[in-house]
Structure 1
Amino acid sequence: MIFEAQYQGQSAVVNTLKDSRAAFATNTLRETCFFSGKVRSPLPLREGLAALYDVVVSDFKYRPRDHLEFQEWLEEQDRNFLAKLGLHDSKVLQRLEELEVRLLELEGLRQQRRKPFNKARKAFFEHIYTDQYELDYLLDPVITIHPDEVSFEAFSRDESSYARLAASYDMFEKVDEFECGTTNIDFSARLHDELDRMRSYRQTQLDISPSGFGVTRSDAGKKKTHKEKKIELPDSWLMGFLQVHSVMTMAMAHLSLTPVDLYNIIRFLRLHHTHTSPRALRWELTPGKSTKVVLEPWETTIELSPTSIYKGDKPQSIRTWGRDRLRTLARMLPVAEKVDVYLAGFGLPTMYVLDLGDMHFTLALSGWTDNDWTGTDKFSLVTRRLEVSASDLSSAYEALRNERRGTYAQIGTVTGLGAEKAKSALSYLCQVGRAMYDLRGGLFRHRDLFFEPFSAAKAVAMAERAAEESNPHAKAGRQIFETGNARLIARRPVKSGWKLSGSAKGTEGKRVRPLVHVDHEGHVIEATCTCQYFQKNKLTQGPCEHILALRLVHMARLEKEDRL
């Protein structure tokens, strides 16, 4: 996929003694949207945007060092040693040492002559990093202006971290004007440095518009403010961006921490380094008690504050990896009021939501750094619900576009689809980039990620292809359900939802026993199966075909009950 952007102005921050104006230039190829307002407290905004930039440029994937230069030096030393080994004449050895000293002197003179070249080369690479690198590789954040908030979304370079900064209109003393819509903003390293100079004693104005700052600069005698970007995005980047919101609708263990709890974890990791396994962050959850975090491999236990009391039904021990990515949150801890943590399960993604007062910052981390959001975890399969026709999907899209936000129950009432169908339709819209899920607010929001007009038929085809072609278990589960090879033996209502017991006959012809625990909204809370695939991988690589088939049987029965 080729991402294109054009900016007529440029984003910048201009400071005076008493006032400050932060202007973000928007992509003129997208729909026109704008915002203007006076910020009540600029410090949380500054720290939130700085953390957002840290996520954009972050790349925590392991890459082995290149030892080629060291090997060449080592071979040169071996050659010199062997050349000297056969020399026994003291005069020859003395002459050789004199030549080596002279060679060092000549090398020093050579470096002196190359100083202008090295200086120019350094300036060139700085230009590549600050300008050309951003034009060719770094995707600008997606900004969406809602009726009640302004949100910034970004994805990391290593495709393992997703960040969303949402600023409520309550953080503004005055909102002058706004127009709802979705676009990209010009977000560069220079802008990041300028944002660091925002201060609380200055009255700060935030402007988001296509013009940004119309600052001109000289280029070969010409004046220009126009900037274009054309970035070739891998399909995995786009699909990962969409997978995030499938995870957010899952049933997850929820904890409330204080900022100092998260600070203690980050501080310990900063002071201690290890190259041995395991390197997991182990969450020990006991109902009615404060949560404990164990840092492996030291087995150091950090007991969290009393606000972290786990309210689940049974004890759990959840291990998560890729803990170094938490460093991107460090800057916001001094201005944060609390931290909500959502744990999807063993080796599954983790969500951190920082409450910054009238703002909140969401960081979604994949199960581990090298396993990006599209590697093997097919989270859309866990949240997949009923089949939705193109007309139903179009009705849900138009309703969400008109309302701009709402729960699945509200959208179901507006469209007349009912709660179950509306939930399925909104799930589809998230998977094709036409909606997003607000984890903190517990509602869906309209957000068009693509330039092209919405087509319900294409959206259904895209969602089916993305899920079933990328994971054969989804296609096999659908086949088991449609051929009647999945049976629902027991269906018991519980406080948290439904517990399902059944049998399924897979493609290998062997009948197995899947057990699934879903909540009232149909999200998988727990699942087990006697098949070989589940015994080996659990849910870390997505559910097996038998779990999906049993869930489809349950969803079909819910749809019938919803119509009665």
Structure 2
Amino acid sequence: MEEFELLQKPTLGTTNIDFSAKLAKEIERFRTYNEVKLSVNPEGFTVDTGIIPEHMEKKIDLPETWIKGFNQVSSAASLGGIDIELSPIDIYDICSFLRRHKAQKSPRYMKWILEPKRQVKIVFEPFGSELTLKAIYDGEKIREEKIWGRRRWLVLEKIIPLAKSFKVRLLGFGMPQFITADLGTMKMTIGFSAWSSNDWVKGTAFNILGGFIGNGNYDKVYKLMKEKRCLSMESIYDNLKEDSKTTSKAGIGMLLKRGEGYFDATHDTVRFRRLCNEPIPKELYETTEMEFKVQEHINEGMDNFRAMVNESNEFMFKHSFKMPNSKYKNWKFRDTEDYNREHDLTETQLIIDEDGQISKVKCKCREFNKGPRNISAPCAHILALYLISTKFTRLKLEKDKEYKINDIMETIL
């Protein structure tokens, strides 16, 4: 607020406008020697530079796909990741390289090479060029992260002169990246998806990975957040101790899905803020078929669950979930043992490194194998295994020893 001279006391609310080319041109006319008046109200957003007639962008109704996408951004932002502090010079060097080099063939990614206490390196493919940044990686393990959709980073160019520093959050292979620019009294957070068309965004995979399945204790979360306005996830759990963390997390997820709050990646907090004046349609936030499938797989039990730690200190998790048997009641397989078997079992595998990032996935179900077969398009089995596995990543297990659920329980007790 200290960046503005308030002409009247502001009230809480949300006004959705189209950030048009005309509005961008008006903002480019801003000068330090001119007084600019901005008016934000339920009707729209008005800019008056005093030079030409004021410009107004009228309030618009948000498309359903946009609302779903925005809510998925909040879910994605709540996931843990690797944070790397970069200087404006580092971002300038990255953008400068991207501006001077445009790939004409695949692969088109930048590979981040992270070595503890050493400068961050980026390899740009298909050029094979290496860029060494000033930033020092303070993690404890050597990592390599590949990022696609890198030319979107050029969006950052215009704020480089204004920024004191940048924080880059990498969520893992095929996952989005979040970049927060520290502008002094303000911070700007931008999220980039890995690909233009990504099943993580189109569906509800981020909700599931965040543990936002079902309604949980939504009514309690809503009442608490309306009163407190801004709380961390842990603070919400502490205020609702009578309910389990799983229940409260689902309640937080429903608050986000209903457009009544968002996750602030800058401060890692949940903020109460209505996205629309009217309640959004139920079909935009109701539990999806994918979420039901994931919950169903979780409820199958832990008899087939396996866990171990490899030589690289990575957790390797395995599970066999139910999947439909394509030969069940198929007349071609009559009189065979396949004919009466309703379900087969998957061979689902997941590797999670020391930083809690997914480094490899595998599943033999048809849904997973008809896609790109990586973490960018997970099936319900992989998502279910991930949700189960996150409960065991803090265990101290012997290396290269496979643990069943009974072995794990004995270790805990």
Partner residue, 2:233: 408
Partner residue, 1:434: 260
Partner residue, 1:281: 110
Partner residue, 2:330: none
SS in 1 for 2:113: strand
Instruction: Provide the rounded CA distance (Å) in 2 between the counterparts of 1:214 and 1:529.
Output: 50
Instruction: Provide the rounded CA distance (Å) in 2 between the counterparts of 1:503 and 1:370.
Output: 29
Gaps of 5+ in 1: 1-168, 216-224, 559-564
Partner residue, 1:292: 121
SS in 2 for 1:484: coil
Partner residue, 1:94: none
Gaps of 5+ in 2: 49-54, 325-343, 395-413
Query: Identity, % of aligned pairs?
Result: 26
Residue 261 (structure 1) aligned to one of 80, 83, 90: 90
1:335 maps onto 2:153 in alignment: no
Cα contact 1:527–1:547 (8 A) shared by 2: no
- Higher relative CO (Cα under 8 Å, sequence separation at least 6) belongs to 1
What amino acid maps onto 1:303 in structure 2? Answer: T
Distance 1:213 1:241, change over 3 A: closer
What amino acid maps onto 1:413 in structure 2? Answer: D
Residue 366 (structure 1) aligned to one of 168, 185, 193: 193
Partner residue, 2:274: 448
Partner residue, 1:397: 222
- 1:100-111 correspondence runs (5 A): none
1:248 maps onto 2:84 in alignment: no
Instruction: Provide the rounded CA distance (Å) in 2 between the counterparts of 1:293 and 1:546.
Output: 30
For each residue in 1:312-370, what CA deviation from the matched residue of structure 2 results, as whole angstroms up to 9, or x when unmatched?
Answer: 33222211122221222111101111111111112221111111111111111111234
Cα offset, 1:480, TM superposition: 2.5
Greater mean alpha carbon deviation, residues 435-444 or residues 193-202: 193-202
Distance 1:527 1:551, change over 3 A: farther
SS in 1 for 2:301: coil
Cα offset, 1:400, TM superposition: 0.9
- Calculate the TM-score normalised by the size of structure 1: 0.55
Cα offset, 1:206, TM superposition: 4.5
Instruction: Provide the rounded CA distance (Å) in 2 between the counterparts of 1:227 and 1:360.
Output: 24
Instruction: Provide the rounded CA distance (Å) in 2 between the counterparts of 1:210 and 1:546.
Output: 43
Instruction: Provide the rounded CA distance (Å) in 1 between the counterparts of 2:303 and 2:286.
Output: 23
What amino acid maps onto 1:443 in structure 2? Answer: T
Partner residue, 1:132: none
How many equivalent pairs are there? 359
SS in 1 for 2:294: helix
Greater mean alpha carbon deviation, residues 345-354 or residues 413-422: 413-422
1:482 maps onto 2:299 in alignment: yes
Instruction: Provide the rounded CA distance (Å) in 1 between the counterparts of 2:62 and 2:262.
Output: 23
Cα offset, 1:538, TM superposition: 2.8
- 1:81-480 correspondence runs (5 A): 169-172=1-4, 176-185=8-17, 187-202=19-34, 206-210=38-42, 233=63, 235-305=64-134, 308-371=135-198, 374-375=201-202, 378-384=205-211, 387-389=214-216, 392-416=217-241, 417=243, 419-453=245-279, 458=282, 462-465=285-288, 468=289, 471=290, 474-480=291-297
What amino acid maps onto 1:329 in structure 2? Answer: L
Partner residue, 1:505: 321
Residue 541 (structure 1) aligned to one of 377, 380, 391: 377
Cα contact 1:387–1:424 (8 A) shared by 2: yes
For each residue in 1:68-120, what CA deviation from the matched residue of structure 2 results, as whole angstroms up to 9, or x when unmatched?
Answer: xxxxxxxxxxxxxxxxxxxxxxxxxxxxxxxxxxxxxxxxxxxxxxxxxxxxx
What amino acid maps onto 1:484 in structure 2? Answer: G
What amino acid maps onto 2:263 in structure 1? Answer: Y
Cα offset, 1:396, TM superposition: 0.3
Cα offset, 1:257, TM superposition: 0.6
For each residue in 1:160-211, what CA deviation from the matched residue of structure 2 results, as whole angstroms up to 9, or x when unmatched?
Answer: xxxxxxxxx3434668512112222475433322222222344555443357
What amino acid maps onto 1:302 in structure 2? Answer: L
What amino acid maps onto 1:378 in structure 2? Answer: A
Cα contact 2:114–2:143 (8 A) shared by 1: yes
Instruction: Provide the rounded CA distance (Å) in 1 between the counterparts of 2:58 and 2:140.
Output: 54
Distance 1:213 1:418, change over 3 A: same
Instruction: Provide the rounded CA distance (Å) in 2 between the counterparts of 1:413 and 1:299.
Output: 49
What amino acid maps onto 1:423 in structure 2? Answer: K
Instruction: Provide the rounded CA distance (Å) in 1 between the counterparts of 2:248 and 2:110.
Output: 37
Instruction: Provide the rounded CA distance (Å) in 1 between the counterparts of 2:129 and 2:203.
Output: 31
Distance 1:486 1:542, change over 3 A: farther
Cα offset, 1:244, TM superposition: 0.9
Cα offset, 1:529, TM superposition: 5.2
Cα offset, 1:418, TM superposition: 5.2
Q: Which entry has the higher C-alpha Rg, 1 or 2?
A: 1
Q: CA RMSD in A?
A: 3.8
Instruction: Provide the rounded CA distance (Å) in 2 between the counterparts of 1:301 and 1:262.
Output: 15
Cα offset, 1:411, TM superposition: 2.3
Partner residue, 2:51: none
Instruction: Provide the rounded CA distance (Å) in 1 between the counterparts of 2:385 and 2:110.
Output: 33
Instruction: Provide the rounded CA distance (Å) in 2 between the counterparts of 1:214 and 1:349.
Output: 33
SS in 2 for 1:537: coil
What amino acid maps onto 1:249 in structure 2? Answer: S
